[in-house]
Amino acid sequence: MNPVPAACDILLKLAAIPVNRHAPYDVCVIAPTMIHGGEVRNVIPDDARIEGGFRFFKYGDNGKIADTIRQIAENTARAYGAEAQVEVPDRYTPPVVNDAGSVAFARQTLRTDPEAAELGKEQA
Q: List the pLDDT tens digit at each of the 124 positions of the chain.
A: 899 999 999 999 999 999 998 888 888 999 999 999 999 999 999 999 999 999 888 888 889 999 999 999 999 999 999 999 999 887 777 777 788 998 888 888 888 877 766 765 655 4
Which is nearest to 65 in space by CA: 124, 6, 18, 105? 18
CA distance 71 to 63: 12
The CB density around residue 106, as the number of other CB atoms within 10 Å, is 12
Q: Which of 62, 1, 2, 77 is nearest to 28 (CA)?
A: 62
Question: Cα dist. 51→81, 107, 112, 119 in Å?
Answer: 21, 39, 47, 38
For the entire predicted model, the pTM comes to 0.75
